Copies of this chain bind each other. A is one copy, B any other.
Amino acid sequence: MILVNGLPGEHIRVFDRGLTYGDGVFRTLLVRAGRSLCWSRHYDKLYADCAALGMMCPPEDILAVEMANLIAEAPDCVMKVIVTRGESQRGYAIPEHREPTRILMASPAPQYPANYLTDGVRLHLCSTRLAIQPLLAGVKHLNRLENVLARREWSDPEIAEGLMLDMDGNVIEGTMSNVFLRQGKTLHTPDLGRCGVAGVQRQRIMEMAGRLGMTVFRVENLPLARIYNADEVVLCNSVFGVWQVRELAGKSWQAGNLAARLRSLLDDECD
């Protein structure tokens, strides 16, 4: 269930800069009953991320048509969209004439344990720190070694996700998710202007939290202690939605309903 530049196949050439330099971006979204959830938002973010790297982004209609072809075969799946800067010979310089490479992959949705939604999840505190790089901050690019190294830190299947700090010790994100904490009627989420990936569900929560009577603040410095002292902590991404955090490195939280409330918001229409 893969299209590479619109054609069925599962290969790219070794000259592709996505391989040689990680020179590209990607998106992961959920397809349910034939609908690609929040596609417009995902495309806008894909486009913005391409622009951040000075790359051309394939037109929305081309990706939409190709995605529809895959969805016809896989109406419930996880869709991954990779766009690279295309091919070049050896060397970092970017040739003038080149076409981005687009790869669409439909995979089965992951089967997380049912109690992640009912009881919340346990987190590992990663020792792998995120480097400060404002030029790449927020962008979901293909240079993901920090996430790979962080994910290698635990193998306990009871642990759902790892929490990552930046070099200064501020909480930034999960290895594959964004993080919010609630203090009273206020939600806080790390500012991602120096590192981290700014996800679509994070953006939606920031826009919609007012409907729960909550205010949201982006926080530049969110030391770990702020997490430990939070009333509730949740994670979000486009595949699993929202998870309540019940344990992080020895600290536990009572069962809360913030994740459930945010899930009900995110279940709203999103095209």
Contacts and interface: CB of A to CB of B under 8 A. Distances in A.
A109 to B, nearest CB: 10
Given A90-B80, A92-B148, A132-B131, A10 B21 contact: no
A100 interface: no
Given A22-B22, A22-B143, A91-B176, A14 B14 contact: no
Nearest to A26: B20
Interface stretch (A115-123, A133-141, A218-226): A133-141
A94 B148 contact: yes
Interface in A30-45: none
A11 interface: yes
26 contacts: A10-B13, A10-B14, A10-B15, A11-B12, A14-B82, A16-B19, A18-B19, A19-B19, A21-B22, A21-B142, A21-B143, A21-B148, A22-B142, A22-B143, A22-B144, A53-B149, A54-B149, A89-B107, A90-B105, A91-B110, A92-B150, A135-B146, A136-B145, A136-B146, A143-B143, A143-B144
Interface of A: 2, 4, 10-23, 26, 28, 53-54, 78, 80, 82, 84-85, 89-94, 103, 105, 107, 110, 128-129, 131-133, 135-136, 141-152, 167, 175-176
